[in-house]
Structure 1
């Protein structure tokens, strides 16, 4: 069976040789060949399920076919490993290709690191190779002055989601599935050492939509453990429940992964965007301005988080909350610093009181304050809180919050969408805007809302104007103008390209399912990456200060 691999990008020849050895390529080829048809099948099942919902007008509910799993009180997931039992604060959106931040996080007091090849990472060939090599170096103790992997925060490795492919490798004439590429290379090079040091291998699984997808991951884990001579169940995975359909199958997802489960995680913006993905053409599911009306205090998100906690703790699994995206100012004595810290504390306290066992922050300066907040309420974890008092109905999970659309919210979503596309065109998976980090999750909800508001011709609360493609076009010009301060001609052109691509994606007749897939398959993005390889442009481009 044939394998084709694109040669090394300029400047990464040594990293390339370390990652793509003869043995690792044989392993990766076998992994892909074994599971490629199953990957295609689950992607087709997603399409089939969405088509059924569209044609029937049905709404999701708790499945009758799996009622026996939910009603059986006796099963539990396998015991949580020691290093995961007290993981109050993880660092999120940690793109491992960013060597400097990766090293800072390795030496931080965080209990875990979300090593992110997905939402916070732009999957250029350069970034994937550099990121894989940095994980390799960390696990093999090759970074000077960095702690040994047994002493560093535990690595929670997040491969790409099922919707992503790897353009630079083909097996049997087909581009390789992105998550299999990432997972396979991480396990081959790091799995044994992580296990020997009692530090893994641990994973985050993104954008899982059903228990059948969890079953596929479980099969992949079992195959990999057997191939690499590792004990069954040593791989542990936290599934991110960031799709509305998965919220109705949380127990079934834990059941399918019960030998390999490290619990479930809440992802507020991808989860909210999934409502538009699945039901956005239905006016009953019009999602109001996220900047004003959508937060964890609303019924549909609060119910989802509480059900996740109840489900996990009932089955002996860990329940983790979302990521605080806010950035702390440098001056600790300033009023803005105190205000941001107070706001993060208030929101994270809601999650702690709901019963989560941990959550994520982006800013390393938030680690210690949030750990202290957790220690005020629990020393280890909150798995003893079973939440037996709670009953969550399908109506609770599908209850849209009240509210409308503001001009500020519309412009904010446009800015985030444009800046995300612009970031991808320069090889960055996240960026900073208005005092917080933005990534593909916030880009998803931003472009989803603009698409839906155009589709339903929603009126602005401010002045009654209708959200149309014409209005969005005018606001794109306005927002782009505001972002172009002190820009070079090249930056102006790139931002103009991003604005055009954003207008294209929010104006589509049919909703593009994932903005990352849309961009990754777009000629503009592919051409920009090949151009950067040809001219030898550095992969690590400075982030704009916005």
Structure 2
């Protein structure tokens, strides 16, 4: 069953109408029915006025979304065909060499962003409420890496944001006093399967952004609490330019001043690292700075250059960290670029989880590890970073305050830094280990298993794992097979036979924790899908795109919807 809506004018007058009262006309916009248990939330969000807004937003920009995705394909084909490496663009040198421009200052609520909560899928009502009650400066409200974009999760998550902005959660501070919401829509590669405009499924980020802005934008503006966004997986300044056009159009439609929307761009792609100043320039009225994301960024090297032997990425658990040249150069350049232009620079997320026993040696070891890594970022000049574990908020805020004694580090211009293309493209030395291979397989299989359960993250060996760690995990396994890499443990070649054997062994080990035959079968399905991904001749650009388009995911999700009750929270 599909609801059909048509639009005869730019606006529809009147208050909220039930879907049954909106008369179908032509098939300009098609929307699937509400997920079971979310009928009231669905009707609250999809008012006639909102549907008009979504229709206009999507029909205005979906062609340009297709264009930027085509530019990605064209750029990749050029790199593959020529063997060239990226560098700083000569055609935009005037932007980089012009010292006069800066981004607009961010609002007061963004000036101090020492510790944000990361990877928070807002469909998790209980965790979302706890985050709103916390002392964190901000919350990464994540519809991307830490979220599985089932229709249920998107509707529940957006509705929960609406409730927070409308101050409808009990025992939660007013939105003007709670941690600031940094809304993270899906990336350009994701599609919303449950809505079609003019016969095409709509871009996922336009669906998320449109609903969030229509329902929350004005209220966030009035309370000086937003609207603020994270923009995922941007690969070029042309993509930043498109987001800027979307911001300008949306502000005009909703009656908001230019510059109201502020966005932090996550530099998660090696190509974007060479265009950071240009990205800031395109968003200079709407920029809230740039962010480092170590695992998506590392995985992008395999995405872009993985078939080249010179770009073999060694075992990430042993040889890849922010102290290595290519990642340290990337962070240094990001901080220098941001502060040069008056923009905030934020670091990555601490994925480790603190043990409950605060007196244990393990607790002290984990805290010391997080402290050491975050201290590196602070000394590099970042203005803040993220943690997953809410119990890390206080110690990390104390660490930041002790080191900086200021709201931010914009005064740290890092003029001592000179980063070259060679610095950014220098792969760390090291090999492939047996433990690293097994760990990557486990993370990849468990992520797909979580995805099939409608979840975008899971916990493994004392830390949270999400699509970013799944990307680097499956990327490395694919690349190690492609280059017939030898294990440094015993010299064996990583090939199909070895990986299939380890997937079987790892799956058997993991299945011991499954509580039902159905759970074991789902885990086996995840293992089969993982093998499909890592054995492909051509590298799938994004594991989330592959999974969201795969019939196994869609059928499994439909079965789960048909048989599982939904929480009323």
**Which structure 2 residues correspond to residues 315-394 of structure 1 after superposition, within 5 A?**
315-378=341-404, 379-394=406-421
Name the residue aligned to 1:529.
Answer: 557
Name the residue aligned to 1:520.
Answer: 548
Among 305, 320, 323, the alignment partner of 1:279 is: 305
1:66 aligns with 2:85: no
CA deviations 1:129-176 (Å, max 9, x no partner) are 000000000000111111110010000000000000000000000001
SS, match of residue 377 in structure 1:
helix
Name the residue aligned to 1:29.
Answer: 55
CA–CA separation in structure 2 for the residues paired with 1:355 and 1:151: 27
> Shift of the alpha carbon at 1:482?
1.0
8 Å CA contact 1:157, 1:203 repeated in 2: yes
Name the residue aligned to 2:524.
Answer: 496
Structure 2 residue runs without a partner (length 5+) = 1-5, 7-27
8 Å CA contact 1:126, 1:539 repeated in 2: no
Name the residue aligned to 2:283.
Answer: 257
> Shift of the alpha carbon at 1:9?
1.0
Name the residue aligned to 1:101.
Answer: 127
CA–CA separation in structure 1 for the residues paired with 2:510 and 2:334: 39
Question: Cα distance 1:239–1:119, how it changes in 2: closer, same or farther (>3 A)?
Answer: same
SS, match of residue 380 in structure 1:
coil
Name the residue aligned to 1:181.
Answer: 207
8 Å CA contact 1:10, 1:536 repeated in 2: no
Name the residue aligned to 1:544.
Answer: none
> Shift of the alpha carbon at 1:80?
1.3
> Shift of the alpha carbon at 1:481?
1.1
1:445 aligns with 2:477: no
CA–CA separation in structure 2 for the residues paired with 1:536 and 1:279: 42
CA deviations 1:60-104 (Å, max 9, x no partner) are 000000000000001000011100001100000000000000000
More deviation, 141-150/153-162: 141-150
SS, match of residue 376 in structure 1:
helix
CA–CA separation in structure 1 for the residues paired with 2:511 and 2:195: 37
1:15 aligns with 2:41: yes
1:426 aligns with 2:453: yes
CA–CA separation in structure 1 for the residues paired with 2:276 and 2:566: 42
CA deviations 1:44-68 (Å, max 9, x no partner) are 0000000000000000000000000
More deviation, 526-535/295-304: 526-535
Name the residue aligned to 2:11.
Answer: none
8 Å CA contact 2:104, 2:285 repeated in 1: yes
SS, match of residue 274 in structure 2:
helix
- Aligned residue-pair number: 541
1:511 aligns with 2:565: no
> Shift of the alpha carbon at 1:434?
0.2
8 Å CA contact 2:162, 2:215 repeated in 1: yes
Question: Cα distance 1:285–1:338, how it changes in 2: closer, same or farther (>3 A)?
Answer: same
Name the residue aligned to 2:19.
Answer: none
SS, match of residue 85 in structure 2:
coil
> Shift of the alpha carbon at 1:343?
0.4
8 Å CA contact 2:37, 2:567 repeated in 1: no
SS, match of residue 537 in structure 2:
coil
CA–CA separation in structure 2 for the residues paired with 1:376 and 1:483: 42
CA deviations 1:401-452 (Å, max 9, x no partner) are 0000000000000000000000000000000000000000000000000000
> Shift of the alpha carbon at 1:536?
3.9
1:292 aligns with 2:318: yes
8 Å CA contact 1:240, 1:265 repeated in 2: yes
Among 425, 440, 443, the alignment partner of 1:398 is: 425
Name the residue aligned to 1:481.
Answer: 508
Name the residue aligned to 2:117.
Answer: 91
CA–CA separation in structure 1 for the residues paired with 2:196 and 2:226: 29
SS, match of residue 414 in structure 1:
helix
**Which structure 2 residues correspond to residues 75-154 of structure 1 after superposition, within 5 A?**
75-154=101-180
CA–CA separation in structure 1 for the residues paired with 2:323 and 2:567: 39
CA–CA separation in structure 2 for the residues paired with 1:307 and 1:81: 24
CA deviations 1:513-533 (Å, max 9, x no partner) are 000000000000011111122
TM-score, with structure 1 as normaliser: 0.98
Name the residue aligned to 2:183.
Answer: 157
TM-score, with structure 2 as normaliser: 0.94
Structure 1 residue runs without a partner (length 5+) = 541-546
CA–CA separation in structure 1 for the residues paired with 2:549 and 2:261: 31
> Shift of the alpha carbon at 1:534?
2.2
User: RMSD across aligned C-alpha pairs, in angstroms?
Assistant: 1.0
CA–CA separation in structure 1 for the residues paired with 2:134 and 2:377: 23
Among 256, 270, 277, the alignment partner of 1:244 is: 270
> Shift of the alpha carbon at 1:535?
2.4
Name the residue aligned to 2:487.
Answer: 460
Name the residue aligned to 2:444.
Answer: 417
SS, match of residue 233 in structure 2:
coil
Question: Cα distance 1:64–1:5, how it changes in 2: closer, same or farther (>3 A)?
Answer: same
> Shift of the alpha carbon at 1:538?
3.6
Question: Cα distance 1:26–1:151, how it changes in 2: closer, same or farther (>3 A)?
Answer: same
More deviation, 370-379/117-126: 370-379
